[in-house]
Amino acid sequence: MKKDIIEATKNARREYHKEWRAKNKDKVREYNRRFWEKRGAALIATQKIGSNDDESSYDESDN
C-alpha cells in the first residue's frame, strides 16, 4: 500500500512538471542555455588550468 502511494506521488509530480515544461518552453530553453553556458565555461576553465600547468613548467630563461 505504501509503495502505491509513493508511486502515485512520483507519477503526479512527473505529470505536473511535464505540463509545466510544456507551458513554459521559453523558461526551460533559457534554463538549459544558462546551464550549458556555465558547464562550457567550467570545462574551458579546467582545460586552461591543466594546460597552464604544462606551460608554467617550461622556463624560457633556461635556454
Three cell numbers written together for 24: 513554459
Confidence of residue 1 (pLDDT cuts 50, 70, 90): confident
The beta-carbon contacts of 12-21 under 8 Å, at least 24 apart in sequence, are: none
Contacts of 21 (CB under 8 A, 6+ apart): 28
Per-residue model confidence (pLDDT) at position 62: 55
d(CA 8, CA 17): 14
44 with 37: CB under 8 angstroms? no
pLDDT digits 0-9 by tens, 2-60: 899 999 999 999 999 999 999 999 999 999 999 999 999 999 999 988 776 555 555 55
